[in-house]
Structure 1
Amino acid sequence: MLFYRAAVDLSRSTLNYVAGIIRRHRKTIRSTWRRLTPTQQALLVLVYLRKGETFTELSAGFGVSVATAWRYVEETVSLLRVRAPKLGRALHKAARDGLHYLVLDGMLIPTDRVRADRPRYSAKHRMHGMNIQVIASPDGTIIWTSGSLPGSTHDLTAARIWGILRALEQAGVLTLADKGYQGTEGPIATPYKGRNKPASQKAANRAHARLRGPGERANAQLKSWRILRKLRCCPHKAGKLCKAIAVLQNYEFTRG
Structure 2
Amino acid sequence: MRLRIPALADMAYTGAGCTFAVPAKRAPRKELSVRQRSLNRAHSRLRHPVERGVATVKRWRIFHHARCSPDRLTSAAKAVLTLELQTLKRLTVRPARVGRRGRCCPRPMRGVR
Scaled by the length of structure 2, what TM-score is found?
Answer: 0.49
Relative to its length, the structure with more helix (as a share) is: 1
Relative to its length, the structure with more strand (as a share) is: 1
Quick one: higher RCO (CA 8 Å, sep 6+), 1 or 2? 1
